[in-house]
Structure 1
Amino acid sequence: MKHPTTRLRFAAEFNPSPPSSVRGSTSKFPLYPMEAIHEFGAPSEPALRPVDDLLSGYSYVEPTDVAYAKVTPCFENGKGLVGSELKGPAFATTELTVLRPRPGVSRDYLAWLLQSDTFRAPAISSMTGAGGLRRVAEPFVRDLEVPLPGLERQHAIVDYLDHETTEIDILIHELSALAERTSERFESELSARIPYPQRADGLTSGNGLAPIKRLGTITLGKMLDSSRNREPGETHRYLRAANVQPLGRIDLTDVKTMRFTNAEKEALDLRGGDVIIVEGGQGGYGRAAYLPEDIPDTGFQNSIVRVRPRPGVDGRFITYSLILLRVRGYIKSVAATTSMPHFTAEKVAVTPVPLLALSEQTEIADRLDRSGSEARATETEIARAINLAKERRAALITAAVTGQIDVTAKHRPAAEQLEDDIKELP
């Protein structure tokens, strides 16, 4: 049964102001920065600040409210806040849009609505701004038509989604734990095969170690600049941080394009034998991958550092050494931390790698290739299963809030059907 609709501004008040009881308080209040906010779950522990420091420059939120992150990529990543997770009045980054349900609207139904494609797809299309600072257009969202059944049906939808998504989330957690165990087994073999000292968080060259700059040439990729993307030159594919996955896996399912001059195409090509390393990014910096073959007509962005090994050096050995150093914390210890960690080209250049004869490098790399191939294949299968689970979860939310499924009828549990479908993945 299709649900009736209304404009979102008739369902919720946008960005309510702090009441006088808060404005005149002498207490300290929680402050949630964006990094403390997750996917409509419990936020991380907040800081406590005097109210006078918070009344300007921050969003106000109460346990009655819900909020969504309005800035890219946080919105696309599903970041949001449900007031039930708060212990009382609080403040948060202004990159949240706070909604206070009007009478006859369930807070928890509103939270599920904000996670549905009914809201998310048009909100993404409304984004304005350039580069990495695009934001959901609030005037558009205020007048967005959204499904709003009666309060009793809202409560039924909330109960249904609370139960079904919890089961799917448990399955996703189990799959993630399996991926983590797969990584740990491979990491143990890395430690056994690559002759680093046991502690690898404060290494320097010498004692059988050589900096990477002695083993290959190091190149940083091209800066992505939308204004320069209109300059003369051919549109050309490029790799970015998202294409380099854990355990040295390259993901080419989503490769972007930008303009490269002929000189840039020549200087920033990707050949078999190269090592590519993630330069920046909160979760991925320092990831490394080996290219077994050329990637034609493809360059790389400045979120990637390329190492092209010199003769007598096996790029696979450099890659596995970097993966081990990341596991042991060395890369984290040297990454610049001004605003976001970066494993810069300069840091890559001085990173120490065991200095071995080519035959020894190749023998170690061959052994690790075999076990690494198995680990990567397992992780790929798990990643596909997790992606399917997330897609089904999102589809279930949308179907429930729009009335495409009757949540009061008896259905086979979504998680059970999902497990069967995962087993049938090719």
Structure 2
Amino acid sequence: MTADLPETAGFVPADRIAALGVSEILQIGARAAAMKRAGKPVIILGAGEPDFDTPDWVKNAATQAMAAGQTKYTALDGTPELKAAIAGKFRRENGVDYTPAEITVATGAKQVLFNALMATLNPGDEVIIPTPCWTSYFDIVRIAGGVPVAVACDGAQGFRLSAADLAAAITPRSRWVILNSPSNPTGAAYSEAEYRPLLEVLLAHPQLWLMVDDMYEHIVYDDFRFVTPAALEPRLKSRILTVNGVSKAYAMTGWRIGYAGGPEALIRAMAVVQSQSTSCPSSISQAAALAALNGPQDFLAARTESFRRRRDLVVAALNAIPGISCRVPEGAFYTFASCAGLIGKTTPSGRVIGSDRDFCAWLLDEADVAMVPGAAFGLSPYFRISYATSEAELTEALARIATACATL
């Protein structure tokens, strides 16, 4: 029985979840929130959601939908209007054509991933996942009966998968590759030149499909140009699932709307899974997502510029701390810094920092700053900071981190 499940007489969890636990990110967040409620001045840098509010016109669209009686079940995997808007977005922003039958809408992008893997994996099928990665990829694969195959991509290679490492990971059981650009937790992103060699490998392995998580598409910095594989290599489009959603760009995490474009046969199979789990997404949330995709987009640039300023603040402050080094991310709102230079050091109380988990736990106790260790994402010794919070809070948190580290 997992440590996360309460002890209840006679209860035995299913084998598919017996070895799994609640996300470490959520556990750290819950502990930090409890400390804050108890009066501790905790600054939480673990949340993977924008601190901006949902745009007013999006909220107004939801209100109008409710007033108009749009509170019933909708079509199973998305209203015709929302699917049309998603098709328009893919065509306008990504240069990819999908018909409504090639589009699915679900209760968040996480459900899109879950539906796809449940619909396609047989026991023992392998899913190649570059690490560090979003923690849910591994456990969703396991729940679906598959085997996650981690391919380590450290800071020296920009946290990006190489064509050689991809080719070496492929076996006769390989079914999917999952790529996330820009990435959670590293903020690393693939340019067209970096995608091309990977797509060449995929072309040589027709049994292998590609799942692309583009959730942070609109949060990229400097001169980086976002691209998605289905637009780069039309010969692979029939085995690519392009996943996205409204959560990050439009600050709609709580609305729970994710979507994807892919081959019609896959979309139909995913609908079967969804029909027996959640059925349709929220009708009101779909109306809001429709307004987000079809409404003004000019505010996105201002929000991204705000994130860029925070990125620069965090990267500079972290690199000024002896023992910590931080790569400049291309996108998203995370830094993924190495704390290798602090491993093995001792705190004033005699506590040894033996790992990135020890480092993050000590900072939460000592400095009231909550971060997520790299081990949670599959790569140590690193730690993730989400800078989706105010510059004032970031400045204070970074000062606390620097002060604490100076005592080691």
Q: Which has the higher strand share?
A: 1
Instruction: Point out which structure has higher relative CO (alpha carbons under 8 A, 6+ apart).
Output: 2
TM-score calculated relative to the size of structure 2: 0.30
Higher Cα Rg, which structure: 1
TM-score (norm 1): 0.29
